[in-house]
Structure 1
Amino acid sequence: MEGREQWGTRAGFILAAVGSAVGLGNIWRFPYVAYDNGGGAFFIPYLFALLTAGIPLLIMEFTMGHKYRGSAPLSYARMNKKSEWIGWWQVAIAFVISTYYAVIIAWAMAYTYFAVGQKWGTETKAFLFGDYLNLADAPGQIGSLVPSVFIPLVLVWVVTLGVLFKGVKKGIEVANRIFIPTLVVMFLIIVVRALTLEGAALGLETFFKPNWSEIMSPGVWVAAYGQIFFSLSIAFAIMITYSSYLPKKADINNNAFIAGFSNSSVELLAGFGIFAALGFMATQSGVGVEEVAAGGIGLAFVVFPQILNTFPGFNGLFGVLFFGSLVFAGLSSLISIVETFVAGVQEKFKVSRRKAVVIGGGLSALISILFATQGGLYFLDVADYFINTFGIALAGLVSVITISWFVKKLKPFQEHANATSDLRTGLWWRVCLGVVTPIVLGYMFVMNLIQNIKVNYGDGDFSTSFILYSGWAVAIAALVLGFVFASLKWGEKDLEVPAAYSEDKGVKAK
């Protein structure tokens, strides 16, 4: 790997890592999760989860990529041949996510256009599911292609694959230098305006008011760990891949802290903006904030258009800023997701980056068309839930147990990271990864498994057969593909760790 690409600057890597972590979930998931789990009291378990799981896992994955200089599959194979399947499993998870994530960005792109003149009308829910998505009558029906989703979807893939064609330094780094500052500026304008609206104080009071009775609930702590885990792009090959492009003297530990706290800062900023706006909406409607609070797709594409309809001025401008910020957040994340399997294909099958982008990215783009049909939302909903719950979370559990308990690499990883970093980690890092994180992720997995065995996902909205083939089958297929690709042999010298990175001596960041 003598000619392996590298980031042009440290800032380029950090922006790319932050761009990957800061996605759609930061804006529409975190505020509601915090509100629904104790409000201001939620920030205690959230900060604890960040320091005991989020940042330690980031350090682990940054170290792994930096030490072994490869995509997730190659890094795992270089660490231990028997663990390569975990890398391919994570890559397969990323591939599945890329197919539907692109479609949500396409929705945001379409709504950026609809924001001019509030083309969604007054019945925003009916517009989303009827006029825009033209939703099929029942789950399992594919229906016809929806042009208003398909056209922006094509544009999303043109931008994403175009950036990846350019490579790491000239493509991904340049794109994130544009996307992330633009995203932050756009969202800051929205937050400042939201804070000046009538009722904003009511919304913020609702968001931050601590419900201390919730602090001892196991569910709240699980929610905090889940939010940290899913929002930091951990355990689906991204951070290992990105860190493999770091130069020899990169400060791994500091980079992890910067990326982790930057991601949380954006989530907190989103909380300010979203709940200030919800307070305004509640005041205008004469109801409590709890009656208008929502999360997920409903918040972004139903509630927020309602809020924009009642804005006292410049409705279209703020609509463009909000949905435009979703587009930039989504694109920076999608680029990182697709890069994981582009890098894996490129290394395993000895093809050029362009061919890897065409093969990996092109296949993902073709499959994503399924989610641009009338029945696409149903498939998206179930696939997203199962690949996150029984894909990312389980892969994270398996990877951390494998590294800490079986191949016992925590001490060597710590020595490698400390040798390149000004900030050194101690025993707490190994305890977090060897004990705390496995217990929490294991508990999350068992509880989710029991819940899904007792009651079908969706509480009866989906048939058992639909859940089996569009949810469980997708999650299981990702795992199976991990073993299939791991069974293919590497070249004779592929598993040799580059000499400059196999030893940690004398590598000190300045």
Structure 2
Amino acid sequence: MSTTKTSAPQKREGFSSRKVFIFAAIGSAVGLGNIWRFPYVAYDNGGGAFMIPYLVALLTAGLPFLFFDYVIGHRARASSPLAFRRLNRKTEFIGWWHMGINFIIAIYYAAILAWAARYLFYSFDHAWGDDPQTFLFSEVLQVADPAGLTFDFVPGILIPIVVIWVLLAVIMSLGVQKGVGLANLFFIPVLIIMFIVLVGYSLTLNGAMTGLDALFTPDWGALTKPEVWVAAYGQIFFSLSIGFGIMITYASYLKNKTDLTGTGAVVGFANSSFELLAGIGVFAALGFMATAAGTSVSEVATSGIGLAFIAFPTIISQAPGGTFIGVLFFGSLLFAGFTSMISIIEVIVAGVEDKFNLGRVRSTLFVIAPIALISTVLMATTSGLYVLDILDNFVNQFGILAAGLVSIIVVAYLLRGLPILRNHLNERSSWRMGRLWMLLLAVITPIILGYSLINTFMGLMKEPYGGYPDQMLNIFGWGMVIALLVAAVILSMLPWSKTSRAALTPPAPPISGGKVVHDHVDATVKNVTAQGGK
């Protein structure tokens, strides 16, 4: 590394325009969950009536927390660990917790993209035959029976997962604007066009209206059930990519005078619009499937892997122009997942750049090499599906939700920093935040997140998740959750070097007890700022 690179932190990249940021943020928010999770969650929680708690959740928790993430990142102009350090040195561990969560998600997310890539090609010859379920578990994934940890590699998964990681390494190495920004400017318009065409075609299928009736017929009694409201808040929280560092990182790349709340509203409503579109397309196709089989929609409605890799292959085999549907569906799944994967990796790369001042290419390789290795060893094996399921469940419930709850409690009650963050928002936004924003963040959101966490924990105490062996749950479930938190605390205690971005004068002073703390900066640090700062 040259003397110039080590003597002062490199100038930080950023998005060239608000438009690029919006595409990148939408690319992060619109992912696999929009396509294969939302339709079934809505159907299973009141159908058309679910739209009421869903909209309430978006307005009372989704957008307020999105603005919370935005202002933390934008105010600090830093990755999640450094952003929380610049709030207060004692809160740095939250940022490292975020990085750990994204590390885990990246491990298994790449595997799903590899599956989608394979099925994109299978759409041309309908390789799954008459039994897509057996084909998936026995031929494609070669799932071990009984459930347990194995290291028997599946070549058909190994190759596409390596290709996914190589593409990610190339894009991430190009930087924030030329890599992350341009990739989303390409993928998101293509994704939207493909999905609109898919939905339009699905609506022409025989039985499509039967599927839509099943989805949108309201069950008003569901509104009296607490679990329905919790499901709505959970869907919004997971879907918007809030609470685990992604939007903090992306907002840190925005220019100083960007309209934060206006931009956030565009991203939030665009994400929800895509979810609604996905619901229409998926249930129109499921309506066709039910009609063709002479059964009810409830018999074929499913979510997640079952929807994507069992139900849709069945639809593709039976529908006129099935190959066309397959290319559009799995292409959409691949593009939506890939843009989300870019944002997941960016959180970690940004943290490494801030901490070690390695430069973009070295930081990218430093991050991707170990994650790709672990991802390949765990996911491209006959036990990959089991590991994926456990990691996904525990990191979502006790990683994302828990980190979101802790960050709100720490900032709102220990630092009493919401008024200061609100002022930063209002100085730059067209949609001004008042006391209601702070009330929603400090009261409503913690209640919902806390209830969800306690409810999930109590359920797992009564019955182990998925009936998996205790060894697997202890390693990839509870063990992973504890390890992430311990690692976050340890990393936050390690000193930052004088060549890291932590040495720069922060754009805004830290917060302590509801007041900003103006530290005196000596001439040396001022000089570093002049050389490499913002």
TM-score for the superposition, normalised by structure 1: 0.96
Alpha-carbon separation, structure 2, partners of 1:234 and 1:449: 21
The residue that corresponds to 2:150 in the other structure is: 142
Alpha-carbon separation, structure 1, partners of 2:167 and 2:20: 19
How far off is 1:2 after superposition? Answer: 7.3
Are positions 1:485 and 2:491 aligned together?
yes
The residue that corresponds to 2:18 in the other structure is: 10
Give the alignment of 1:429-508 within 5 angstroms.
429-458=437-466, 460=467, 462-491=468-497, 494-495=501-502, 498=505
Kept in 2, the 8 Å contact 1:67–1:502? The answer is: no
Kept in 2, the 8 Å contact 1:163–1:172? The answer is: yes
How far off is 1:498 after superposition? Answer: 4.8
Are positions 1:330 and 2:337 aligned together?
yes
How far off is 1:432 after superposition? Answer: 0.5
Are positions 1:32 and 2:48 aligned together?
no
Kept in 1, the 8 Å contact 2:76–2:506? The answer is: no
Q: Which structure 1 segments of 5+ residues have no match?
A: 505-510
Query: In the TM superposition, what whole-angstrom CA distance separates every residue of 1:21-72 from its partner, at most 9, and x where no partner exists?
Result: 1110100000000000000111111111101111101101111111001000
Alpha-carbon separation, structure 2, partners of 1:318 and 1:155: 24
How far off is 1:141 after superposition? Answer: 3.2
Task: Name which of 378, 388, 391 aligns with 1:380.
Answer: 388
- Whichever residue aligns with residue 208 of structure 1, its letter is F
Alpha-carbon separation, structure 2, partners of 1:144 and 1:247: 49
Kept in 2, the 8 Å contact 1:68–1:497? The answer is: no
The residue that corresponds to 2:183 in the other structure is: 175
Alpha-carbon separation, structure 2, partners of 1:349 and 1:9: 27
The residue that corresponds to 2:273 in the other structure is: 265
How far off is 1:76 after superposition? Answer: 0.2
Alpha-carbon separation, structure 1, partners of 2:449 and 2:388: 24
SS of the aligned residue for 1:247 comes to coil
SS of the aligned residue for 1:145 comes to coil
Alpha-carbon separation, structure 2, partners of 1:498 and 1:424: 28
SS of the aligned residue for 2:125 comes to coil
Alpha-carbon separation, structure 2, partners of 1:260 and 1:348: 31
Alpha-carbon separation, structure 2, partners of 1:81 and 1:502: 11
The residue that corresponds to 2:366 in the other structure is: 359
The residue that corresponds to 1:315 in the other structure is: 322
- Whichever residue aligns with residue 357 of structure 1, its letter is T
Query: In the TM superposition, what whole-angstrom CA distance separates every residue of 1:392-426 from its partner, at most 9, and x where no partner exists?
Result: 11011001111111111111111101111111112
How far off is 1:494 after superposition? Answer: 4.3
Kept in 2, the 8 Å contact 1:371–1:377? The answer is: yes
- Whichever residue aligns with residue 330 of structure 2, its letter is F
How far off is 1:8 after superposition? Answer: 1.0
How far off is 1:359 after superposition? Answer: 1.1
The residue that corresponds to 2:245 in the other structure is: 237
Task: Name which of 390, 404, 425 aligns with 1:396.
Answer: 404
Alpha-carbon separation, structure 2, partners of 1:501 and 1:409: 13
Query: In the TM superposition, what whole-angstrom CA distance separates every residue of 1:118-165 from its partner, at most 9, and x where no partner exists?
Result: 111110000000111111112223142111111111111111111110
Alpha-carbon separation, structure 2, partners of 1:501 and 1:198: 59
Change (3 A) 1:6 1:105: same
Query: In the TM superposition, what whole-angstrom CA distance separates every residue of 1:323-373 from its partner, at most 9, and x where no partner exists?
Result: 011110011000100111111111112211111111111111101011111
The residue that corresponds to 2:141 in the other structure is: 133
Alpha-carbon separation, structure 2, partners of 1:499 and 1:368: 36
Query: In the TM superposition, what whole-angstrom CA distance separates every residue of 1:231-260 from its partner, at most 9, and x where no partner exists?
Result: 111111111111111111111001111111
SS of the aligned residue for 2:224 comes to coil
Alpha-carbon separation, structure 1, partners of 2:122 and 2:10: 49
How far off is 1:169 after superposition? Answer: 0.6
The residue that corresponds to 2:88 in the other structure is: 80
Kept in 1, the 8 Å contact 2:10–2:359? The answer is: no
The residue that corresponds to 1:507 in the other structure is: none
How far off is 1:465 after superposition? Answer: 2.1
The residue that corresponds to 2:68 in the other structure is: 60
SS of the aligned residue for 2:314 comes to helix
Kept in 2, the 8 Å contact 1:139–1:466? The answer is: no
Which stretch of the first structure deviates more once superposed, 418-427 or 485-494?
A: 485-494
Alpha-carbon separation, structure 2, partners of 1:18 and 1:501: 27
Alpha-carbon separation, structure 1, partners of 2:509 and 2:470: 50
SS of the aligned residue for 1:120 comes to coil
- Whichever residue aligns with residue 246 of structure 1, its letter is L
Alpha-carbon separation, structure 1, partners of 2:505 and 2:56: 36
In the alignment of these two chains, the number of paired residues is 501
How far off is 1:502 after superposition? Answer: 5.5
Alpha-carbon separation, structure 2, partners of 1:140 and 1:481: 26
- Whichever residue aligns with residue 387 of structure 1, its letter is V
The residue that corresponds to 1:508 in the other structure is: none
Kept in 2, the 8 Å contact 1:68–1:498? The answer is: no
SS of the aligned residue for 2:465 comes to coil
How far off is 1:90 after superposition? Answer: 0.9
Alpha-carbon separation, structure 2, partners of 1:247 and 1:415: 17
- Whichever residue aligns with residue 471 of structure 2, its letter is S
Alpha-carbon separation, structure 1, partners of 2:360 and 2:145: 42
Q: Which structure 2 segments of 5+ residues have no match?
A: 1-8, 511-515, 517-534
Query: In the TM superposition, what whole-angstrom CA distance separates every residue of 1:445-471 from its partner, at most 9, and x where no partner exists?
Result: 11111111111001x3x1222211121
Alpha-carbon separation, structure 1, partners of 2:506 and 2:360: 24
SS of the aligned residue for 1:248 comes to coil
Once the two structures are aligned, what percentage of the paired residues are identical? 49
Are positions 1:90 and 2:90 aligned together?
no
Kept in 2, the 8 Å contact 1:78–1:496? The answer is: no
Alpha-carbon separation, structure 1, partners of 2:80 and 2:227: 32
Alpha-carbon separation, structure 1, partners of 2:80 and 2:249: 6
Kept in 1, the 8 Å contact 2:497–2:503? The answer is: no
- Whichever residue aligns with residue 402 of structure 1, its letter is V
How far off is 1:280 after superposition? Answer: 0.6
SS of the aligned residue for 1:489 comes to coil
